[in-house]
Copies of this chain bind each other. A is one copy, B any other.
């Protein structure tokens, strides 16, 4: 059986299939105002080069391993063992996978509409972690609830495992007439890795560096390393995220949207941390005046001009590959998809802008310079247009244009140095144009 690559099967429940994906990007991010950086402007990058294997094992077991080599190092996609008992509507997963954190985040990067996922997934560090999850679904596969427990890090060589994540996701996905609905909600509690006498954590993809939280987001493109919105590091013990998901698919049309609220459990001015509890970087860190909260959301609308329906897995509540009606191999044009998205990210919180710099050795505080404080956080509002061409299943060419409006943030003072408006009210725009070539097998 061919699924981009040959799937081999054998008696008793064995199967095996090589897996791979290549995502090659090129594009440009404009330089706003007076900001100059080699990290803006034109860039090309191989975003993902994944090779792996998946299969099933007798006894209703499945496995998947996918290593990503795109950054000249080794990262991982899903690495898991799953168990689906024959006579119970249960799914158990153990390994390295998304911490039940957002419909778009959990969907494969092969199947999301735009080149990069929405901003809150980037800002809130929704990512794969090492853990285990149990799910229950109803018989008609339109109600699914899953809960999991994760380490604070992904596959890496770190041995410090104080941090952990508890996460749950629930979704209801009825089909009403021709319309497929998706309604979901998620909750994550993330306990940060404790400090270790000022030594920096070696963990990959932690929600924080030890007890220094930081939320920031790129302008909808991984072709730059610059984040226009960025809270900077501040001392915190844990955070919580609540998320909502909604989507509707009606023939070739679909709409979808998600929102997430994050609340950080922060340290306070006057707190003292000594010995093993001392903070990295000289035991000095920013502390907000109270627990700060952040918010992100997007809404998307799209259609297949060529009549396809957007791929959707109603059991798992994730986007899947669309089935191309007239592939070029049969003399057709392939499929064309157009979509528009509004994406909003608010990393602005007065508790952080008014925060002081606390010396955790002595408990005394100082106040940073005004512009530095006002530059913490910022809001980012993006308008995105996307065109995707699928010549056949397994192949996709993408073009995205984004207009990104930024208010405040750490770079506002550099972008607009002459303004007399307070730094956190200065706004500017960035244009992002990007293209991707995507092969999967």
- B residues within 8 A CB of A22? 63, 65, 79, 81, 95
Taking A6-B16, A39-B160, A439-B63 as contacts, is the C-beta distance between A94 and B49 under 8 angstroms? no
Minimum CB–CB distance for A25 against chain B, Å: 10
> Could you tell me the distance in whole angstroms from the C-beta of A49 to the nearest C-beta in chain B?
6
The one of B79, B131, B161, B437 in contact with A43, judged by C-beta atoms closer than 8 angstroms, is B161
- Give per-residue flags for A79-105: 1 if the beta carbon is below 8 A from chain B beta carbons, else 0: 101000000000000111000000000
The residue in A193, A204, A394 that gathers the most chain B C-beta atoms within 10 A of its C-beta is A394
A41-B71 contact, Cβ under 8 Å, with A79-B49, A394-B57: no
Decide if B2 touches A10 in the complex (CB within 8 Å).
yes
Given the interface pairs A2-B14, A16-B18, A329-B13, the reply to whether A94 lies near B44 with Cβ below 8 Å is no
Q: What are the 10 tightest A-B residue pairs by CB atom distance, in nearest-first order?
A: A71-B157, A58-B329, A43-B161, A38-B196, A2-B10, A6-B8, A46-B155, A38-B160, A69-B74, A44-B151
> Nearest chain B CB to A306's CB is how many angstroms away?
16
Within 18-48 of A, Cβ neighbours of B (below 8 Å) are at 18, 20, 22, 24, 36, 38-39, 41-46
Query: How far is the CB of A221 from the nearest CB of chain B, in Å?
Result: 10
Does A51 count as interface, using CB distance less than 8 angstroms?
A: yes
- Chain B contacts for A95, CB-based, 8 A: 22, 24, 46
A217-233 residues with Cβ-Cβ distance < 8 A to B are: 223-225
**Given known A-B contacts A12-B329, A41-B162, A51 and B67 have beta carbons under 8 A apart:** yes
Q: Which residues of B contact A367 (CB under 8 A)?
A: none
A59: CB under 8 A from chain B? yes
Give Cα A194–Cα B46 distance, bound, in whole angstroms: 21
Q: Can you give 19 A-B contacts (C-beta < 8 A)?
A: A5-B53, A5-B55, A22-B81, A41-B162, A43-B161, A44-B130, A46-B155, A51-B65, A58-B327, A59-B391, A67-B69, A69-B76, A70-B155, A70-B157, A72-B73, A72-B204, A73-B74, A73-B157, A159-B223
Contact of A59 with B10 at beta-carbon distance under 8 Å, contacts A16-B5, A41-B162, A69-B67 already known:
no
A185 proximity list for chain B (CB < 8 A):
none
> Given A51-B67, A58-B329, A81-B437, list of 13 further CB < 8 A pairs?
A5-B53, A5-B55, A6-B10, A13-B329, A39-B159, A39-B160, A45-B161, A49-B65, A57-B395, A67-B69, A71-B157, A72-B73, A72-B74
Residues of B within 8 A of A63 (CB): 22, 439, 441
Partner of A36, one of B38, B43, B73, B276: B276
The 0/1 profile, CB within 8 Å of B marked 1, for residues 398-441 of chain A is 00000000000000000000000000000000000000010101
Q: In the complex the two chains form, is B160's CB within 8 Å of A79's CB?
A: no
* A244 interfacial contact with B, CB 8 Å: no
A246 in the interface, Cβ–Cβ < 8 Å? no
